[in-house]
Amino acid sequence: MFHGSIVALVTPFKNGVVDESALAGLVEFHLRAGTHGIVPCGTTGESATLTDVEHRRVIEVVVEAAARRVPVIAGSGSNNTEEAIALTRHAKKAGADGALLISPYYNKPTQEGLYQHYRAIARSVDLPLLLYNIPSRTGVNILPETVARLTAFRNIVGIKEGTGSLQQASDIMQACGDRITLLSGDDFTALPLMSIGGKGVISVTANIVPAEMAAMIAAAEKGDYAEAARLHYRIYPLHTAMFLETNPAPVKAALALMGKCSNAVRLPLCGLSDENAAKLQSTLTAFGLLPASRRRK
């Protein structure tokens, strides 16, 4: 159902509020470049610092701008199960094609607690659901055996696997087979995961090079791993640049240099240090995303 290069879309701000015009413009940028799907209100979309009203509105704007041309997978997770259910219900009502559900953070639930959390959402909302596992952010790992248990629910269709571990990804595929769609949640491992049965990536880097990320995943889907590897190593320095500091500060700074939106992030995140801003600009220039003569102001 979901595959390819799916962008973890930033949420642009202007004067402290969501810049809906820039947001719709980013969606159009991705549609023209061949991105296969869009995730609003994920980690890269700064969901943690959006108000409930903003969160819902961002999903509505993206769904409207996409106009069914590619799937929209709305970030609707929470560490509060009832809130996750409410946000997922809204995503369905807004016309999203699916929902991405971050595992509960801070609470540190047991594996049984994780199972019960996702079970409650799956039973409450008839919408295709993707689990989102990123222990470095949440403090808890959804183990492969728990993923396998959750495949009993027909609307739990995939997982964004963000551990960066090929062993864990392999364990998931061995336990679940074709009952789950495996998507990389870590740009560095997008291509390796394709080789073990993954179907694509939910990508930060795709925010700035959507065509190249889409081409890499498409090459892997066709079995042309030589071309996919060439593109992987071409894009690889950008992956590093996108994580010079906490995501999404670097990707927003890059988009600002490219003239796509403001570089504003919400506290407690902040803008890049001068040192890392210079490294970012150098990487973007070397890739060809900025004129060689441009200087950071």
**For 54-77, what is each residue's pLDDT tens digit?**
999 999 999 999 999 999 999 999
Mean pLDDT of 175-194: 96
Structural domain contains residue 255: no
The two tokens of residue 128 are 């295709």
Mean pLDDT of 127-142: 96
Mean pLDDT of 248-256: 98
Query: Vertex 102, ends 266 and 141: CA angle to 5°?
Result: 120
In percent, how much of the chain has pLDDT > 70?
98
User: Can you tell me which residue has the tokens 């470095």?
Assistant: 136
Query: Vertex 123, ends 122 and 124: CA angle to 5°?
Result: 95
Three-state secondary structure call for residue 177? helix
Structural domain contains residue 293: no
Total domains in the fold of the chain: 1
Catalytic residue among 115, 160, 199, 252: 160
Task: Name the DSSP letter for residue 244.
Answer: S
Structural domain contains residue 135: yes
What is this structure's pTM? Answer: 0.95
Catalytic residue among 115, 118, 132, 199: 132
Structural domain contains residue 117: yes
| Per-residue pLDDT at 293 | 59
The verdict on whether 92 is a catalytic residue reads: no
Cis peptide bond prior to 248, omega within 30° of 0: yes
Domain that holds residue 123: 4-225
The verdict on whether 160 is a catalytic residue reads: yes
Answer whether 98's CB lies under 8 Å from 128's CB. Answer: yes
| CATH, residue 186 | 3.20.20.70
